[in-house]
Structure 1
Amino acid sequence: MCNEDDANLSRRGLFVTGAAAALTLGGVSFAEAADTANGQTTKVVRGTLPPGSPDFVYLPVEVPRGVAEIRVSYTYERPQVPAGTQGNALDIGIFDERGTALGGEGFRGWSGGARSEFFIRGDEATPGYVAGPVRAGTWHIALGPYTIAPQGLAYTVTVTLTYGKPAPTPKPVYPPERAKGRGRDWYRGDCHLHSWYSDGLRTPDEIAALARAAGLDFVNSSEHNTHAAHGAWADAAGDDLLVLLGEEVTTRNGHVVALGTDPGTFVDWRYRARDNRFGHYARAIRRAGGLVVPAHPHATCVGCNWKFGFGEADAVEVWNGPYTPDDDVSLADWDGTLVAAARSGGRWTPAMGSSDAHRDPDAVGTPQTVVLADDLTREAILDGLRAGRSYVAESSAVSLSFAAYGGRGRRAGIGERLRVDADDPVTVRLEVTGAPGRTARIVTDQGVLHTVALPAEGKGTVEWRTTAAYAAYVRAEVRHPAVVPIPGFPGPLAAFTNPVFLGHPG
């Protein structure tokens, strides 16, 4: 049976959830089919969203008892628009009978704009969605009109219920929190990756194989607005690869990677900076054992630019994928935050880099964060990242060693402080391998103060002498030659370090 309904777009359906405004449409009822056994019922809903619609539009679906599977598909019009005008883009997901409350338990999946259909049943679900019982009650299909053309966004949603005995839901198996490490050592990882559980095209097994080929020791699962992949990584992990679990929380005012959270942790994304909800969810990430990492903060895609500030950040992703000008802006912006920490000795935000790889030809591990950790465990890796004991490299071929030395055998490595008096001599030493034809730079709170061309074989040692009075902190960069030589503008990064702070905090 197939019925068609026009969605009711009355503004009386507009409500505020405590975060982003949302619109609830007229509902779809399957109540008359409640006694149907081992059959299917389909209903079709059509409507048009006008420009300026809320971020989320909910279509209620009354699900009767006896349903084994719910299947949803959708289409929408993509009219031509003038250059410089946003066209239509409509995301989709679903919440079960427990409701759509922000941070509630009703979330059952989200695929954004990556899929045109999905299903949920007891034993299985479309990647990005959570398998489990299809219980009776009011479910809500969540539509996310990301951008709307001037003509409006005309859509069609088709809902099919299959009746029968529900399949049992298997208990998820998660990857172990420990791999076979080398004790205290430098471990390489890629903390921002996408599989076919959101908008990527690779399976977890394929990503794991690429991670191993890239010389990585750990990765982090970070699908857009879903934790559904957490139970899919156990077979891909192993003694040689630690798999951390997380999510890329993709809001309309920027993206944040929840890094290394407890298995099964879902972090809501349905708010903007003006809603004053980010701090709540940042704290929820930390309560789940994870790190809060704003991603590509100066990216130019719609909704990608970071608007929440960095007060809740545990680290920040300043290098995302192949190096581009927005990464240079992110690097400079992050560098500008270091002076306050240098002066006070207080909290500072370490920098990271990740590939954000989705599909071929995106390279897993380009770039990668290299962290000094006590072992290859979730706890030790997160401790090292949180402390800033890390540097970022374009590949496993590039290795850095960077430290500052004072009198009486004092030494401070990346992420640490060398406690010396203002006029005490300090020697900064950078050792580089795997960077032929590159240039090494020593950066301080004044800017770039020392530049050296590395030897042709790409291996070299750079030393520079200073004092804490002259340099509040030091960090190192390794750069490629500029693609288009412009005086004062360097080439893309091959690697960079977090800072070493100098002197006593004031």
Structure 2
Amino acid sequence: MCEDARDIGRRGLFVTGAAAAVTVAGAGFAAADGPDRETRTVRGTLPTGSPDFVYVPVEVPRGVRELRVSYTYDRPAVPAGTAGNALDIGLFDERGTGLGGRGFRGWSGGARSEFFVRADDATPGYLPGPVRPGTWHVALGPYTVAPQGLAYELTVTLTYGEPGAAVRPVYPPERARGRGRAWYRGDCHLHSTHSDGRRTPAAIGALARAAGLDFINTSEHNTMSGHAHWADVAGDDLLVLLGEEVTTRTGHVVALGTDPGTFVDWRYRARDDRFGRFARRIRRAGGLVVPAHPHATCIGCAWKFGFGEADAVEVWNGPWTPDDEVALASWDATLVAAVRDGRGWLPAMGSSDAHRDPDVVGLPQTVVLADDLTREAVLAGIRAGRSYVAESKDVSLVLGVSGGRGEHAGIGERLAVGRDTPVTVRLEVSGAPGGTVRLVTDQGVLFTGGPLPASGTGTVEWRTTPAYAAYVRAEVRRAATDPVVPGPLVAFTNPVFLGRD
């Protein structure tokens, strides 16, 4: 069977939004490999300025057991400072490509050159299920396009036969064996083989336990296919929360602790004014909205949506780098604005964003005061800001502020005393040998102490009033190697607010 290339050019390529003109350079069908298999190949070229997503329709007849897709694209040399070609890929079924993802069947970004779906199995990143008749769409995402354009070849193979038994997903439990109200350690930004990670869920679970973590959150790029593959990883000693890293063209956001099977669409930019709809989707699914690495320098990684819909923000992402320093300063400015405007504040988090060796799971980790080791309690602790961030299980902080009449407040809380009431700030540190302690307020760093002894343990006290410091938070840093730039973080806390509202 053959189809004229001009016909494919007229009706075989759909684009989103106010689409630029896009045509397919050529298309052809290979001879059938046998009575039970049929292959079609489509070739085309995308110019610079292409839409973010291009949908190639595939007419699927009845009786198909498996749909398999492979693709290649050219990578021509480009001048220094110019982006080369990068083409992502995914799949939508006969229910369509509408925003919201009703027809979503999987996404692998640029991590794979081939995938399949069928009723009883699918490539990681994709959802098993029946291959029903109708118009399916292979989604192409030209992440960057070279000046020469992006030439691609897409091959679709349909295998006919009985569909096989459907898979019934099993999800991890929402509770692990906790210690009651206690501090629990977690890493909420991790990638497995279900997106662009190179570690299996089992391998990540083993590394999480070795890092002393009590909970983790799954966060694959633009897919929830991995949700049903973590039940065997969870246990009495490890709570596995489910989520997604919603990877848009103008920033990434971690959907943290959502209901099993929750899909959050990513096919919009900040200028489209659609993020609020999907932030509400995350919260309706019981999760938190956490912008990730907001000042990262990779293309499309920096957060452009603002923080009005956020429940927390990932200030520290992986090993400490200059963009984390910028994120910390930017987040601190939001605390000042919250005090000034008398509104709610945005808690800070830290996660590893680990993908593969040598990425360290649990560097850093968010340490949360929660009523128990359950999904509900952990998310409540994060939302309330009852947490600090540390580089490893060896580092612990205790920050509290006390008034003269026995009043006391800890991290994420408010010490409601008068403006001129003297208060004492006390910080206990362990696991940070040689570290420097800094107490930060809305005015800036008002106390510096250290270095801590070789044991890594120390206690500092500082006195102030709510009139002088609207909040206080703590940092522990390594020695600076530059007279202008502070040393790398070892740990930092969310604030304690001072004074009555």
Structure 1 residues 337 and 10, CA, compared in 2 at 3 Å: closer, same or farther? farther
- Compute the TM-score of the two structures, normalised by the length of structure 2: 0.96
Instruction: Give the structure 1 partner of residue 463 of structure 2.
Output: 465
Residues 111 and 199 of structure 1 are in contact (CA less than 8 Å); yes or no, is this contact kept in structure 2?
yes
Query: Distance between the aligned counterparts of 1:360 and 1:176, measured in 2?
Result: 28
Task: Name the SS for the 1:361 alignment partner.
Answer: coil
Structure 2 counterparts to residues 280-291 of structure 1, below 5 A: 280-291=277-288
Corresponding position: 1:199 with 2:225: no
Structure 2 counterparts to residues 103-502 of structure 1, below 5 A: 103-453=100-450, 454-482=452-480, 485-502=481-498
Query: Distance between the aligned counterparts of 1:97 and 1:54, measured in 2?
Result: 22
What are the superposed Cα offsets for residues 402-427 of structure 1, whole Å, 9 maximum, x if unpaired?
A: 01111211011000111111111010
Q: Determine which of 45, 67, 74 is the counterpart of 2:71.
A: 74
Query: Distance between the aligned counterparts of 1:22 and 1:169, measured in 2?
Result: 40
Task: Name the SS for the 1:496 alignment partner.
Answer: strand
Q: Which amino acid aligns with 2:200?
A: T
Structure 1 residues 7 and 54, CA, compared in 2 at 3 Å: closer, same or farther? farther
Q: Displacement of 1:455 after TM fit?
A: 1.9
Q: Displacement of 1:128 after TM fit?
A: 0.2
Q: Which amino acid aligns with 1:195?
A: S
Q: Displacement of 1:341 after TM fit?
A: 2.1
Q: Displacement of 1:488 after TM fit?
A: 3.5
Query: Distance between the aligned counterparts of 2:111 and 2:3, measured in 1?
Result: 26
Query: Distance between the aligned counterparts of 1:99 and 1:23, measured in 2?
Result: 22
Query: Distance between the aligned counterparts of 1:368 and 1:38, measured in 2?
Result: 54
Residues 22 and 55 of structure 1 are in contact (CA less than 8 Å); yes or no, is this contact kept in structure 2?
no
Query: Distance between the aligned counterparts of 1:190 and 1:266, measured in 2?
Result: 21
Residues 230 and 264 of structure 1 are in contact (CA less than 8 Å); yes or no, is this contact kept in structure 2?
yes
Residues 28 and 41 of structure 2 are in contact (CA less than 8 Å); yes or no, is this contact kept in structure 1?
no
Instruction: Give the structure 2 partner of residue 504 of structure 1.
Output: 500
Residues 3 and 44 of structure 1 are in contact (CA less than 8 Å); yes or no, is this contact kept in structure 2?
no
Residues 439 and 478 of structure 1 are in contact (CA less than 8 Å); yes or no, is this contact kept in structure 2?
yes
Structure 1 residues 171 and 275, CA, compared in 2 at 3 Å: closer, same or farther? same
Structure 1 residues 428 and 83, CA, compared in 2 at 3 Å: closer, same or farther? same
Identity %: 75
Query: Distance between the aligned counterparts of 1:486 and 1:423, measured in 2?
Result: 37
What are the superposed Cα offsets for residues 167-219 of structure 1, whole Å, 9 maximum, x if unpaired?
A: 11121000000000000000000000000000000000000000000000000
Corresponding position: 1:47 with 2:48: no
Task: Name the SS for the 1:223 alignment partner.
Answer: coil
Task: Name the SS for the 1:201 alignment partner.
Answer: coil
Task: Name the SS for the 1:200 alignment partner.
Answer: coil
Residues 220 and 259 of structure 1 are in contact (CA less than 8 Å); yes or no, is this contact kept in structure 2?
yes
What are the superposed Cα offsets for residues 220-276 of structure 1, whole Å, 9 maximum, x if unpaired?
A: 000000000000000000000000000000000000000000000000000000110
Residues 193 and 356 of structure 1 are in contact (CA less than 8 Å); yes or no, is this contact kept in structure 2?
yes
Structure 1 residues 22 and 206, CA, compared in 2 at 3 Å: closer, same or farther? farther
Q: Displacement of 1:477 after TM fit?
A: 0.2
Residues 87 and 109 of structure 2 are in contact (CA less than 8 Å); yes or no, is this contact kept in structure 1?
yes
Task: Name the SS for the 2:121 alignment partner.
Answer: coil
Q: Which amino acid aligns with 2:70?
A: S
What are the superposed Cα offsets for residues 286-317 of structure 1, whole Å, 9 maximum, x if unpaired?
A: 00000000000000000001100000000000
What are the superposed Cα offsets for residues 384-403 of structure 1, whole Å, 9 maximum, x if unpaired?
A: 00000000000000000001
Task: Report the aligned-residue RMSD.
Answer: 2.2
Task: Name the SS for the 2:225 alignment partner.
Answer: coil
Q: Which amino acid aligns with 2:37?
A: Q
Query: Distance between the aligned counterparts of 2:96 and 2:14, measured in 1?
Result: 16
Q: Which amino acid aligns with 1:287?
A: R
Task: Name the SS for the 1:337 alignment partner.
Answer: helix
- Compute the TM-score of the two structures, normalised by the length of structure 1: 0.95
Q: Which amino acid aligns with 1:216?
A: L
Task: Name the SS for the 1:110 alignment partner.
Answer: strand
Residues 439 and 475 of structure 2 are in contact (CA less than 8 Å); yes or no, is this contact kept in structure 1?
yes
Query: Distance between the aligned counterparts of 1:381 and 1:390, measured in 2?
Result: 10
Task: Name the SS for the 1:340 alignment partner.
Answer: helix
Query: Distance between the aligned counterparts of 2:249 and 2:372, measured in 1?
Result: 37
Q: Which ranges of structure 1 fall in alignment gaps of 5 or more residues?
A: none
Task: Name the SS for the 2:328 alignment partner.
Answer: helix
Task: Name the SS for the 1:281 alignment partner.
Answer: helix
Q: Displacement of 1:104 after TM fit?
A: 3.4
Q: Which amino acid aligns with 2:469?
A: A
What are the superposed Cα offsets for residues 17-47 of structure 1, whole Å, 9 maximum, x if unpaired?
A: 5xx85888779899x99xx996110111111
Q: Which amino acid aligns with 1:499?
A: P
Query: Distance between the aligned counterparts of 2:233 and 2:252, measured in 1?
Result: 26
Structure 1 residues 178 and 469, CA, compared in 2 at 3 Å: closer, same or farther? same
Residues 413 and 496 of structure 2 are in contact (CA less than 8 Å); yes or no, is this contact kept in structure 1?
yes
